[in-house]
């Protein structure tokens, strides 16, 4: 496992932070909104390809096309929330596994704790004056669900109405809304999203009570997306030849569109500091701050695109074979890049209420077994939930209004409701659990391994994230 992490680190360092022209973060919205193109019964006709944002270079009334803003906003909101959560996963603690205090009688440093510390939380104990620890962690994340939907089974769907292609091209009263504009396209998304991160970290004791630390992640992000597109003929069901099709002059209503890309580079660097203002026996209380810098490329899913400052309090204690720790804090975030198509002004990076707690069990002097719970409440981040949209048959030029198949009130094609993900305002609550162990191989060298898993169904989730690392104290 360590050999793999070193290989990944070498690949990431050597790889450029590049992927698509627009950036990896735009891969899914661009695929759905720009690359699902229908041919139409007559190639080159003004309405050909009009279930997307349109192509104003094709001539005719195409240049005056008006796409459905609600559909665009739904896709863009999905992309924005995906981007903000993809790179915003826990990095793990940069605090060294060994902690010391100076013994003035013996004139030497002695271990202040038998535990090697937590994995995804912090303990109040400090490393010790002028002591240094450094290490490397490798973390693999393969996201499985988003908005309580499986990313890989096509259950995340969007509906793209026909663009308003003709009424804007002609002045009233000359124009007539074509009935063919009542057709829609269903876009069912299947997405594989993975990230591999190698984080180098260091922690130094300025005094017996004051530590400073730094974590530098290098990440490779990869997306593989496919969209199963289906033309739903709400208004042209009886047309012959078909008005809308994916193959010219043929009756083809289904087609799969694919896109993939990857990007590598430095992620968001985190600077940390901790001051233990209370020490009494095994009980310690500290104040801490993390400053996350927007050094990662937001457009390629390597960073969140905003500065974050996290202030929190740490309390920890230990008796015999067990040590406990609790963290409570608040994160203030810059907004990052906002998408003007989305109605909720709170999008971008979110402020957070943070909490964590856990226990360390000292199985023997060389082995510490760990368990943590990590909670985050992303203020005003919004939730992606199922929303119902109803699309009606449209009477106009190009459709037969008297057709009983289309106009019957019992016809399932008339006023059919459809479910798609949509963003609703509110706080997004994320809850994670972790289990793992740290093993003292020799001297001051530690090996660690941890599993991270979701404890609720919200947000972008990986069923099982694994982390391995090494840590050496000087």
pLDDT digits (tens, 9 = 90+) for 272-298: 999 999 988 788 999 999 999 999 999
pTM of the predicted model as reported, rounded to 2 decimal places: 0.83
Please compute Rg for the chain using Cα positions: 28
> Which residue stretches of 207-248 are H helix?
none
How many whole angstroms separate alpha carbon 345 and alpha carbon 469?
39
CATH superfamily of 2-473: monomeric porin ompg (2.40.160.40)
> CB neighbours (10 Å) of residue 145?
20
Percent of the chain's residues with pLDDT above 90: 48
- pLDDT band at residue 312 using 50, 70 and 90 as cut-offs: very high
Task: Note the pLDDT of residue 53.
Answer: 59
Lowest mean pLDDT among 169-178, 311-320, 379-388: 169-178
Q: What is the pLDDT of residues 123-145, one digit of tens each?
A: 998 988 889 999 999 999 999 99
**Which DSSP symbol is given to 59?**
-
Please tell me which of 62-66, 224-228, 249-253, 406-410 the model is most confident about, judged by mean pLDDT. 224-228
Q: How far apart are CA 33 and CA 36, in angstroms?
A: 7
* Higher-confidence position of 412 and 131: 131
- Write down the mean pLDDT value for the chain: 81
pLDDT category at 40 given cuts 50, 70, 90 is low
DSSP summary character for residue 337: P
The residue ranges of every structural domain in the chain are: 2-473
Q: Which residues have a Cβ under 8 Å from the Cβ of 432 and sit 6 or more positions away?
A: 90, 120, 373, 374, 375, 452, 453, 454, 455
Separation of alpha carbons 439 and 2, rounded Å:
14
Between 319 and 154, name the one with better pLDDT: 154
């Amino acid at each position: 496992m360590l050999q793999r992490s070193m290989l990944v680190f070498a690949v990431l360092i050597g790889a450029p932070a590049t992927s698509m022209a627009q950036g990896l973060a735009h891969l899914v919205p661009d695929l759905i909104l720009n690359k699902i193109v229908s041919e139409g019964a007559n190639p080159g006709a003004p309405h050909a390809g009009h279930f997307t944002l349109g192509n104003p270079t094709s001539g005719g009334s195409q240049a005056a096309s008006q796409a459905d803003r609600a559909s665009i906003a739904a896709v863009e909101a999905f992309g924005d929330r995906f981007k903000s959560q993809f790179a915003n996963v826990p990095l793990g603690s940069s605090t060294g596994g060994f902690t010391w205090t100076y013994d003035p009688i013996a004139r030497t440093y002695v271990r202040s704790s038998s535990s090697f510390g937590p994995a995804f939380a912090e303990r109040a104990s400090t490393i010790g004056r002028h002591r240094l620890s450094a290490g490397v962690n490798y973390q693999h994340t393969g996201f499985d669900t988003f908005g309580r939907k499986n990313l890989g089974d096509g259950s995340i769907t969007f509906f793209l109405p026909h663009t308003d292609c003709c009424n804007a091209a002609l002045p009233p009263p000359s124009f007539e809304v074509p009935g063919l504009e009542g057709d829609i396209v269903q876009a069912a998304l299947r997405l594989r999203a993975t990230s591999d991160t190698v984080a180098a970290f260091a922690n130094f004791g300025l005094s017996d009570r004051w530590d400073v630390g730094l974590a530098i992640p290098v990440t490779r992000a990869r997306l593989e997306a496919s969209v199963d597109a289906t033309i739903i003929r709400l208004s042209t069901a009886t047309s012959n030849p078909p008005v809308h099709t994916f193959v010219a002059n043929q009756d083809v209503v289904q087609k799969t569109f694919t896109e993939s890309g990857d990007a590598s580079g430095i992620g968001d660097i985190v600077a940390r500091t901790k001051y233990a203002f209370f020490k009494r026996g095994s009980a310690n209380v500290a104040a801490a701050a993390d400053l996350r810098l927007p050094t990662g490329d937001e457009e390629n899913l390597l960073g969140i695109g905003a500065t974050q400052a996290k202030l929190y309090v740490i309390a920890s204690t230990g008796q015999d074979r067990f040590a406990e720790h609790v963290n409570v804090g608040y994160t203030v975030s810059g907004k990052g890049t906002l998408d003007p198509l989305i109605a909720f002004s709170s999008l971008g990076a979110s402020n957070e209420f943070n909490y964590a707690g856990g226990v360390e069990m000292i199985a023997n002097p060389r082995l510490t077994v760990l368990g943590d719970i990590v909670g985050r409440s992303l203020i005003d981040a919004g939730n992606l939930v199922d929303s119902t949209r109803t699309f009606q048959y449209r009477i106009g030029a190009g459709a037969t209004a008297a057709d009983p198949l289309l106009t019957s009130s019992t016809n399932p094609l008339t006023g059919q409701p459809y479910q798609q993900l949509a963003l609703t305002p509110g706080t997004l609550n994320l809850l994670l659990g972790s289990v793992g162990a740290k093993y003292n191989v020799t001297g001051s060298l530690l090996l660690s391994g941890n599993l991270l898993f979701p404890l609720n169904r919200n947000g972008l989730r990986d069923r099982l994230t694994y982390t391995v690392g090494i840590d050496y104290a000087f």
